């Protein structure tokens, strides 16, 4: 692959990787520790990711259990979860915090699928914007000593790359939607 296009492929790959991490935070009926990825706990005045202040386990398919490394953090962890958009009230027994995920309603599943499709669309737009930037850069090459045929070839490669990433995003959206709608 041409070095002049490689940089755009890297950017498109980063866009897809970002979508993967966004999809990991969307819960689909089962307990997934990644729904807690964005939660920060006040750890001695410093906002610290939840994964760094305790052990997160999945003892049952619809339950997460958080065992803080310091018992004094239980209240802070509960507060952080309550203020987040997880939408689940934590319960604790003095040593561990439990999050029980309710069964998703049909309506909630449909809302989640809409959200997944919206995120997919946003990322496809990002990929297309990267293609546009690439095409603009290639047009500028035309003003230097690069032949029109070579530029046309590079534009075709860029378009094929864009199509590949768009198809990959569509596949990810379909897969996540299916996972959410599976009861």
Q: What is the mean pLDDT of residues 132-156?
A: 85
Question: What would the mean pLDDT of 106-125 be, rounded to a whole number?
Answer: 91
Long-range CB pairs of 159-162 (<8 Å, 24+ gap) are 159/131, 161/5, 161/8, 161/9, 161/12, 161/131, 162/12, 162/127, 162/128, 162/130, 162/131
Give mean pLDDT, residues 69-84. 87
pLDDT at site 99: 87
Contact 123, 169 (CB under 8 A): yes
Distance CA 107, CA 64 (A): 23
Q: Is the pTM of this model over 0.85?
A: no
**Among the four given CATH numbers 3.40.50.720, 3.30.420.40, 3.30.1360.40, 3.90.550.10, the one describing domain 33-100:** 3.30.1360.40
Q: How confident is the model at residue 126 (pLDDT cuts 50, 70, 90)?
A: very high
Specify the fold of 3-25+105-181: Topoisomerase I; Chain A, domain 4 (1.10.132)
Task: Specify the pLDDT at position 163.
Answer: 95
Average pLDDT over residues 6-12: 92
Locate the domains of the chain by residue range.
3-25+105-181, 33-100
Confidence of residue 162 (pLDDT cuts 50, 70, 90): very high
Q: What pLDDT does 173 receive?
A: 93
pLDDT at 9: 92
């Amino acid at each position: 692959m041409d070095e002049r296009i490689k940089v755009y492929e890297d950017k498109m790959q980063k866009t897809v990787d970002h979508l993967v991490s966004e999809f990991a935070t969307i819960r689909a009926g089962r307990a997934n520790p990644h729904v807690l990825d964005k939660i920060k706990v006040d750890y001695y005045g410093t906002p610290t990711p939840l994964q760094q202040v305790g052990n997160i386990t999945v003892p049952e398919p619809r339950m997460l259990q958080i065992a803080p490394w310091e018992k004094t953090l239980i209240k802070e962890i509960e507060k952080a979860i309550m203020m987040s958009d997880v939408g689940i009230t934590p319960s604790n027994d003095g040593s561990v915090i439990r999050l029980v995920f309710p069964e998703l309603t049909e309506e909630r599943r449909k809302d989640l699928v809409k959200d997944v499709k919206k995120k997919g669309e946003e990322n496809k737009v990002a990929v297309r914007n990267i293609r546009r930037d690439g095409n603009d850069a290639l047009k500028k090459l035309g003003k230097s000593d690069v032949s029109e045929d070579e530029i046309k070839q590079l534009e075709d490669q860029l378009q094929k790359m864009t199509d590949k990433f768009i198809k990959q995003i569509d596949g990810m959206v379909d897969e996540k939607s299916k996972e959410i709608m599976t009861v």
